[in-house]
Amino acid sequence: MSWDLGPGSWTSCEVPGHTAAKTPAQSVSSHYRLGMPRRLRSTVLAAATVVALATSAMVPLSAAAASSDGPRVTSVDVGPRFLPRKMLAELVPGVTVPDPRRNVVVRVSTSAAGASVQYQERWFIGGKNEKFRWSGASTWSTKHAYRKQVVEGGTLCYRFRAKAGGAVGPWSTMRCTSMPIRGAGLAPSNCGPSDAGVKHQRARTCTMGSKRSWHFMSGNAVRVGFLGGKGAGSFDVYAGGTKIGHVWAGGTSAGLHHRTFEAPKHFRGFVDFRGTRGNVEIHDWLALP
C-alpha cells in the first residue's frame, strides 16, 4: 500500500532552509576536483562510492535483525480462504435461503508460552471502502480462540505479533477469509427464468444477456464460481466497465469451477458477467481487495 501525502509533500529527504548533506563520493569529488590527475581522481571516486554503498547497505540489515528479536507468531488460522455458502432451512418447498453471515474462529499461537499478542484487523466489503483498525494494546491471549463474523461479500484479514517480557516480535503474514456472494445475488436480466437458479440460488447467463451486481463494487480482482460441462456456454467478466476475463464453461469438466481475474488497476463500478454463447450457471462470485 502506498501513502499519498497530498500536494506539496516532500519527495526527498531535504529539509527546507537547509543544505542537503553530501555523500562521501560527492565530498571527494569537490575536494579533489582541482590538482589531481584524471585517472587517479577516477580511482578515488570509485573507492568512495563503494564505501558509501556498503555503509548504506548495512543500515537496513541491522534494522531487520533488531526487528526479528522477541517471541514469534508460529501459526495463524482464520478458517478457509473462501467460506462455503451455508443454506438455512427451506421456507418454501424446494427453496432455501442463504445465510448472509458466517462465523469463523481465529486462532493464533506463539513461540513463547504465555505471550500476549497484538493484532491488526482489516475489513473489506466490495462496494464500500476498506476499513482498518489497529489495536495497540495486548488484549488477546494465545490461550483462547476468538469468534468473528464475516458477512456475504466481505473479506476479513488478520496479522499478529507476539509480546513477552517487554520484547515484541515481528508481524506475521496477513491471513484472510472471504464469504462469496451467491449467484442469485445478481440483478435480473433478459435471460429468462431459471428453475435451477431459483432452487439452488444460482444465476444464469445467456447469449447477449448480462448478469450485473446490484450496486457498485470496488476491488482489484473478481472471483467467479460456475458450473461447467458439456453443453455449457461462455461469458465475459467485466469490472467497472473494463473486460478482465473470459470463461468458456463448455471447455471444462462437469461440476463447480472457480476462476479469479485480476483487474489492471483498482476498479469501482458494476461487476458484469456478459454471456457470449449459450447458458452458464453462476454459482457464486466475489470482489476481492
Q: How many helices (H) and strands (E) would you count in the chain?
A: 3, 18
CA angle at 279 for the pair 277 and 282, rounded to the nearest 5°: 120
pLDDT, tens only, 221-242: 999 999 999 999 999 999 999 9
Task: Look over the chain and give the mean of its residue pLDDT values, rounded to a whole number.
Answer: 73
CA atoms within 13 A on the CB side of 281: 20
Cα 81 vs. chain centroid, distance in angstroms?
12
Residues 6 or more apart in contact with residue 74 via CB below 8 angstroms: 109, 110, 111
Is the pLDDT at 172 greater than 70? The verdict is: yes
11 three-state secondary structure: coil
26-48 mean pLDDT: 44
Q: What is the pLDDT of residue 24?
A: 41
Please name the residue ranges forming H helices in the chain. 24-31, 38-67, 195-200
Residues 6 or more apart in contact with residue 188 via CB below 8 angstroms: none
Q: What is the pLDDT of residue 235?
A: 96
267 three-state secondary structure: strand
pLDDT, tens only, 207-216: 878 889 988 8
Closest CA to 271 of 242, 248, 250: 242
Q: What is the pLDDT of residue 263?
A: 97
Other CB atoms within a 10 A radius of the CB of residue 276 amount to 17
Q: Which of 94 and 259 is assigned the larger pLDDT?
A: 259
Q: What is the pLDDT of residue 60?
A: 35
Q: What are the grid coordinates assigned to 79, written together?
A: 478458517
In CATH terms, 73-178 corresponds, of 3.10.28, 2.60.40, 1.10.1580, 1.10.8, to: 2.60.40
66-88 mean pLDDT: 79
Query: Is the whole model's pTM more than 0.85, yes or no?
Result: no
Q: What span, in angstroms and rounded, lies between the C-alpha atoms of 192 and 209?
A: 10
pLDDT, tens only, 87-132: 655 555 565 566 677 888 898 888 888 888 888 888 888 766 555 5
13-31 mean pLDDT: 38
* CATH class label, 182-288: mainly beta
CA angle at 271 for the pair 270 and 272, rounded to the nearest 5°: 110
Q: What span, in angstroms and rounded, lies between the C-alpha atoms of 277 and 204?
A: 12
- Give me the residue spans of the domains in the chain: 24-67, 73-178, 182-288
Dihedral over Cα of 31, 36, 37, 41: its sign: negative
